[in-house]
Amino acid sequence: MKKLKKDTPIERIWNGIFVENPVFVLVLGMCPTLATTTSAMNGIGMGLSTTVVLALSNLLISLLRKIIPERMRMPAYIVVIASFVTMVDFLMEGFTPDLYKVLGIYIPLIVVNCIIMGRAEAYAGKKPVVASFFDGLGMGLGFTLALFLLGSVREIVGAGTWLGMQITPSGYVPVNIFVLAPGAFLVCGFLVAIMNKLKIGAGRRPKSEWDPTEKICGDCYSCMKFDVCDKKPEDTETTAQTIARAKGTVAEAVAPAAAKSAAAAKSGEKEAES
């Protein structure tokens, strides 16, 4: 996939969904993730409510980033996030009362969700408004997708339904453990493993292309990532060549000083003899 320009809306959304998915990659917000995903619908409800808070709080925090004093940064973030959570809480209670009752205390607890506070501190407090809004939107969509997948697997295997519809044969016996806490950990572990496999596969290059571990330029070796510099293989040196050149440079720099010291020592000996 072509590398996206940093901090653009598409790059921020893709970053939240795949590159830095808050559940499958960063492993954040696991309490609501494991507790509310007994069904796909619950996962969608929890994910979308968190997405609204993420996007709007990032937007407002980015707008106020130059006004909020440094020492009041964290309290200000909490006030902004809590305000949006209260709005979402009231709206869900009024328009989706059944879902509101199922999610219960986890809606108010969005205030202390480390995903929201983390994005406010790491991104929205330092970046422009548009990029911050789409960063929150991308992270929220990634969180929603993770909860939806987790809830779908648990609901299908543990209850034989999906979004409330019966989709398994009449003779299917649900595996009830999947709608309990152990099933949440088990399914989450499998999905994290699948995401790791996809990310590792996406980072690999065909054998016909340049292997960055074979030839290095000296500055990018510690990164060990692809596409970190624009240099071509023929423009780089092997590790042995780099070390040899460095040794040669040091030797050239030391040689004049050594010769000068030797000459001074000889002249000192001659003066001592005379």
Residue 259 domain flag: no
3-state DSSP call for residue 221?
coil
pLDDT tens digits, one per residue of 88-140: 999 999 999 999 999 999 999 999 999 999 999 999 999 999 999 999 999 99
pLDDT at 249: 57
pLDDT band at 164, cuts 50/70/90? confident
Cα-flanking dihedrals φ and ψ of residue 166, to 5°?
A: -75, 120
Residue 223 domain flag: no
CB atoms < 10 A from the CB of 10, how many? 11
Q: Is the pLDDT of residue 54 over 50?
A: yes
The structure tokens listed for 154 are 């648990």
Give yes or no for a contact between 29 and 54, defined as CB atoms under 8 angstroms apart: no
Q: What is the mean pLDDT of residues 23-50?
A: 93
CB atoms < 10 A from the CB of 225, how many? 10
For the chain, percent of residues with pLDDT exceeding 90: 63
Instruction: Quote the CA–CA distance of 103 and 32 in Å, as a whole number.
Output: 9
Give yes or no for a contact between 45 and 37, defined as CB atoms under 8 angstroms apart: no
Residue 13 domain flag: yes
Q: What is the mean pLDDT of residues 78-87?
A: 96
pLDDT band at 266, cuts 50/70/90? low
Residue 112 is part of which domain span? Answer: 9-203
Q: Return mean pLDDT, the chain.
A: 82
Residue 211 domain flag: no
Residue 237 domain flag: no
237: DSSP letter: B
pLDDT tens digits, one per residue of 213-252: 444 454 454 454 444 455 555 554 455 555 566 556 555 5
What is the number of domains present in the chain?
1
Residue 100 domain flag: yes
pLDDT tens digits, one per residue of 60-75: 999 999 999 989 999 9
Across the chain, which distance is largest between two alpha carbons, in Å? 114
Residue 134 domain flag: yes
Instruction: Quote the CA–CA distance of 114 and 213 in Å, as a whole number.
Output: 36
CB atoms < 10 A from the CB of 161, how many? 15
Residue 246 domain flag: no
The structure tokens listed for 158 are 């543990």
CB atoms < 10 A from the CB of 99, how many? 17
pLDDT band at 50, cuts 50/70/90? very high
Lowest mean pLDDT among 105-119, 137-151, 153-167, 253-267: 253-267
pTM of the model as a whole: 0.73
Cα-flanking dihedrals φ and ψ of residue 237, to 5°?
A: -120, 155
Look-up: residue for tokens 């409510």? 49
